[in-house]
Amino acid sequence: MLSRRSWLAIVPVAGLSASLPARARAAAVVEAAAANKAVGALVAATGGDAVRVVIDAGLSPTQLRLDGAVVDIGQRIRLPGDPKADRRFLDDPRNAPRLGGNIRDAIASRHPELAAKVNDNHKAWTRSIARQIMDWNRQLESSKVKGQAIADAYGRAALLVWAGATIDPKSANRGPASLARLPEEPSAATLAAYGAYVEALIAAVR
Protein backbone atom coordinates (compact mmCIF):
# COMPACT_ATOMS: atom_id res chain seq x y z
CA MET A 1 0.00 0.00 0.00
CA LEU A 2 1.05 3.61 -0.33
CA SER A 3 3.43 4.81 2.34
CA ARG A 4 2.58 7.83 4.44
CA ARG A 5 6.22 8.90 4.36
CA SER A 6 7.04 11.90 2.27
CA TRP A 7 9.10 11.23 -0.83
CA LEU A 8 11.44 13.95 0.39
CA ALA A 9 12.09 12.16 3.66
CA ILE A 10 13.85 9.03 2.44
CA VAL A 11 17.09 9.24 4.43
CA PRO A 12 18.95 5.97 5.08
CA VAL A 13 20.11 5.24 8.62
CA ALA A 14 23.90 5.39 8.38
CA GLY A 15 24.74 2.34 10.48
CA LEU A 16 22.15 0.06 8.92
CA SER A 17 22.89 1.24 5.39
CA ALA A 18 26.59 0.62 5.81
CA SER A 19 25.99 -2.94 7.01
CA LEU A 20 23.78 -3.95 4.08
CA PRO A 21 25.10 -5.56 0.91
CA ALA A 22 25.41 -3.21 -2.06
CA ARG A 23 22.49 -4.86 -3.86
CA ALA A 24 20.20 -4.43 -0.84
CA ARG A 25 21.17 -0.79 -0.44
CA ALA A 26 20.47 -0.16 -4.14
CA ALA A 27 17.06 -1.82 -3.84
CA ALA A 28 16.12 0.29 -0.82
CA VAL A 29 15.82 3.62 -2.63
CA VAL A 30 15.67 4.13 -6.39
CA GLU A 31 16.38 7.63 -7.68
CA ALA A 32 13.74 8.56 -10.25
CA ALA A 33 13.91 11.82 -12.19
CA ALA A 34 10.75 13.17 -13.83
CA ALA A 35 10.21 16.11 -16.18
CA ASN A 36 7.86 18.01 -13.88
CA LYS A 37 5.98 17.74 -10.61
CA ALA A 38 2.82 16.33 -12.21
CA VAL A 39 4.74 13.35 -13.56
CA GLY A 40 6.77 13.25 -10.36
CA ALA A 41 3.58 12.91 -8.32
CA LEU A 42 2.68 9.72 -10.16
CA VAL A 43 6.22 8.39 -9.77
CA ALA A 44 6.10 9.06 -6.03
CA ALA A 45 2.67 7.44 -5.68
CA THR A 46 3.72 4.37 -7.65
CA GLY A 47 7.14 3.91 -6.11
CA GLY A 48 6.16 4.83 -2.57
CA ASP A 49 9.05 4.75 -0.12
CA ALA A 50 11.16 2.76 -2.59
CA VAL A 51 11.83 5.82 -4.76
CA ARG A 52 13.34 9.25 -4.29
CA VAL A 53 11.84 11.65 -6.82
CA VAL A 54 13.82 14.50 -8.34
CA ILE A 55 12.69 16.91 -11.04
CA ASP A 56 14.75 17.38 -14.21
CA ALA A 57 13.12 19.81 -16.66
CA GLY A 58 15.54 18.63 -19.33
CA LEU A 59 13.63 15.36 -19.65
CA SER A 60 10.67 15.04 -21.99
CA PRO A 61 7.31 14.57 -20.24
CA THR A 62 7.26 10.92 -21.30
CA GLN A 63 10.74 10.10 -20.05
CA LEU A 64 11.91 8.89 -16.68
CA ARG A 65 15.49 8.58 -15.50
CA LEU A 66 16.02 5.58 -13.25
CA ASP A 67 19.43 5.00 -11.69
CA GLY A 68 20.91 7.36 -14.27
CA ALA A 69 19.37 5.66 -17.34
CA VAL A 70 16.64 7.40 -19.34
CA VAL A 71 13.63 5.19 -20.08
CA ASP A 72 10.53 5.81 -22.19
CA ILE A 73 7.21 5.97 -20.32
CA GLY A 74 5.16 7.27 -23.24
CA GLN A 75 3.56 4.00 -24.33
CA ARG A 76 -0.12 4.50 -25.28
CA ILE A 77 0.08 8.21 -24.36
CA ARG A 78 -1.20 10.65 -26.98
CA LEU A 79 0.38 14.09 -26.62
CA PRO A 80 -1.32 17.29 -27.86
CA GLY A 81 1.44 17.95 -30.41
CA ASP A 82 2.67 21.33 -29.17
CA PRO A 83 5.84 21.42 -27.04
CA LYS A 84 4.33 23.59 -24.30
CA ALA A 85 1.05 21.69 -24.22
CA ASP A 86 2.87 18.34 -24.37
CA ARG A 87 4.54 19.05 -21.03
CA ARG A 88 1.08 19.57 -19.56
CA PHE A 89 -0.63 16.46 -20.91
CA LEU A 90 -1.49 15.54 -17.32
CA ASP A 91 -3.76 18.61 -17.26
CA ASP A 92 -6.18 15.90 -18.39
CA PRO A 93 -6.03 13.49 -15.43
CA ARG A 94 -7.53 10.70 -17.52
CA ASN A 95 -3.94 10.25 -18.73
CA ALA A 96 -2.72 9.62 -15.18
CA PRO A 97 -3.62 5.92 -14.70
CA ARG A 98 -2.10 4.98 -18.04
CA LEU A 99 1.10 6.92 -17.38
CA GLY A 100 1.19 5.38 -13.92
CA GLY A 101 1.08 1.93 -15.50
CA ASN A 102 4.05 2.83 -17.67
CA ILE A 103 5.92 4.10 -14.61
CA ARG A 104 5.10 0.89 -12.74
CA ASP A 105 6.39 -1.22 -15.61
CA ALA A 106 9.57 0.85 -15.96
CA ILE A 107 10.44 0.52 -12.28
CA ALA A 108 9.58 -3.19 -12.18
CA SER A 109 11.65 -3.87 -15.30
CA ARG A 110 14.79 -2.36 -13.80
CA HIS A 111 14.07 -3.49 -10.25
CA PRO A 112 12.17 -6.82 -10.28
CA GLU A 113 12.38 -6.97 -6.50
CA LEU A 114 10.00 -3.98 -6.41
CA ALA A 115 7.46 -5.37 -8.91
CA ALA A 116 4.86 -6.45 -6.35
CA LYS A 117 5.20 -3.24 -4.36
CA VAL A 118 4.80 -0.88 -7.30
CA ASN A 119 1.92 -2.94 -8.67
CA ASP A 120 0.05 -2.71 -5.35
CA ASN A 121 0.76 1.01 -5.09
CA HIS A 122 -0.44 1.63 -8.63
CA LYS A 123 -3.68 -0.26 -8.02
CA ALA A 124 -4.34 1.71 -4.84
CA TRP A 125 -3.91 5.21 -6.21
CA THR A 126 -5.54 4.56 -9.57
CA ARG A 127 -8.69 3.29 -7.85
CA SER A 128 -8.79 6.49 -5.84
CA ILE A 129 -8.14 8.84 -8.74
CA ALA A 130 -10.67 7.03 -10.96
CA ARG A 131 -13.41 8.00 -8.52
CA GLN A 132 -12.12 11.57 -8.46
CA ILE A 133 -12.03 11.75 -12.26
CA MET A 134 -15.73 10.82 -12.40
CA ASP A 135 -16.49 13.77 -10.13
CA TRP A 136 -14.29 16.09 -12.20
CA ASN A 137 -16.03 14.94 -15.37
CA ARG A 138 -19.37 15.89 -13.83
CA GLN A 139 -18.02 19.33 -12.95
CA LEU A 140 -16.94 19.86 -16.56
CA GLU A 141 -20.34 19.03 -18.00
CA SER A 142 -21.17 22.74 -17.67
CA SER A 143 -17.76 23.98 -18.83
CA LYS A 144 -17.83 27.42 -20.45
CA VAL A 145 -15.53 26.22 -23.26
CA LYS A 146 -17.63 23.19 -24.17
CA GLY A 147 -18.33 23.07 -27.90
CA GLN A 148 -16.00 25.98 -28.69
CA ALA A 149 -13.16 26.04 -31.21
CA ILE A 150 -10.17 27.57 -29.45
CA ALA A 151 -6.63 28.47 -30.47
CA ASP A 152 -4.42 27.08 -27.72
CA ALA A 153 -2.65 30.33 -26.86
CA TYR A 154 -1.65 29.20 -23.36
CA GLY A 155 -0.45 25.65 -23.89
CA ARG A 156 -3.53 24.13 -22.25
CA ALA A 157 -4.73 21.86 -25.05
CA ALA A 158 -5.13 18.82 -22.80
CA LEU A 159 -7.35 20.75 -20.39
CA LEU A 160 -9.40 22.38 -23.16
CA VAL A 161 -10.11 19.13 -24.96
CA TRP A 162 -11.03 17.44 -21.69
CA ALA A 163 -13.41 20.34 -21.00
CA GLY A 164 -15.15 19.80 -24.35
CA ALA A 165 -13.43 22.31 -26.64
CA THR A 166 -11.71 21.60 -29.95
CA ILE A 167 -8.30 23.02 -30.78
CA ASP A 168 -8.22 25.20 -33.90
CA PRO A 169 -5.03 27.22 -34.44
CA LYS A 170 -6.92 29.53 -36.84
CA SER A 171 -9.63 30.43 -34.34
CA ALA A 172 -9.81 34.00 -33.04
CA ASN A 173 -11.00 32.54 -29.73
CA ARG A 174 -7.99 32.27 -27.43
CA GLY A 175 -9.95 30.79 -24.56
CA PRO A 176 -10.72 32.26 -21.13
CA ALA A 177 -8.24 34.82 -19.81
CA SER A 178 -8.13 32.79 -16.60
CA LEU A 179 -5.96 30.25 -18.43
CA ALA A 180 -3.08 32.74 -18.37
CA ARG A 181 -3.15 32.84 -14.58
CA LEU A 182 -2.98 29.11 -13.97
CA PRO A 183 0.03 27.58 -12.21
CA GLU A 184 2.63 25.97 -14.43
CA GLU A 185 2.53 22.70 -12.49
CA PRO A 186 1.51 21.31 -9.10
CA SER A 187 3.15 22.85 -6.05
CA ALA A 188 4.82 19.54 -5.14
CA ALA A 189 5.36 16.06 -6.56
CA THR A 190 2.54 14.51 -4.52
CA LEU A 191 -0.91 13.21 -5.42
CA ALA A 192 -2.51 15.73 -3.07
CA ALA A 193 -0.76 18.62 -4.83
CA TYR A 194 -1.64 17.17 -8.23
CA GLY A 195 -5.31 16.93 -7.22
CA ALA A 196 -5.31 20.55 -6.04
CA TYR A 197 -3.70 21.57 -9.33
CA VAL A 198 -6.42 19.82 -11.35
CA GLU A 199 -9.09 21.52 -9.24
CA ALA A 200 -7.55 24.90 -10.15
CA LEU A 201 -7.60 23.96 -13.83
CA ILE A 202 -11.27 23.02 -13.67
CA ALA A 203 -12.14 26.28 -11.93
CA ALA A 204 -10.57 28.20 -14.82
CA VAL A 205 -12.90 26.68 -17.42
CA ARG A 206 -16.16 26.41 -15.44
pLDDT of residue 17: 33
Give a yes or no: residue 3 inside a domain.
Answer: no
Give a yes or no: residue 83 inside a domain.
Answer: yes
pLDDT of residue 54: 98
List phi, psi (to 5°) of 53. Answer: -90, 135
Cα separation, 94 vs 89, whole angstroms: 10
For residue 28, what pLDDT band results from cuts at 50, 70 and 90?
Answer: low
Residue 16 has pLDDT above 50, yes or no: no
Residue 72 has pLDDT above 70, yes or no: yes
Cα separation, 147 vs 157, whole angstroms: 14
Residue 165: domain span: 14-205
The stretch 159-177 carries a mean pLDDT of: 97
Task: Give how far Cα 114 sits from Cα of 49, 52, 106, 111, 134, Å.
Answer: 11, 14, 11, 6, 30
Give a yes or no: residue 126 inside a domain.
Answer: yes
For residue 7, what pLDDT band results from cuts at 50, 70 and 90?
Answer: very low
Domain count, the chain: 1
Residue 101: other Cβ atoms inside 10 A = 18
pLDDT of residue 14: 30
Give a yes or no: residue 192 inside a domain.
Answer: yes
Give a yes or no: residue 81 inside a domain.
Answer: yes
Give a yes or no: residue 2 inside a domain.
Answer: no
Residue 52 has pLDDT above 80, yes or no: yes
Q: Helix H segments across the chain?
A: 14-19, 22-28, 37-47, 83-86, 96-110, 115-139, 157-162, 191-205
Give a yes or no: residue 119 inside a domain.
Answer: yes
Instruction: List pLDDT tens digits, range 78-127.
Output: 999 999 999 999 999 999 999 999 999 999 999 999 999 999 999 999 99
Residue 5 has pLDDT above 90, yes or no: no
Residue 180 has pLDDT above 50, yes or no: yes
The stretch 165-174 carries a mean pLDDT of: 98
pTM for the whole structure: 0.85
For residue 191, what pLDDT band results from cuts at 50, 70 and 90?
Answer: very high
Give a yes or no: residue 18 inside a domain.
Answer: yes
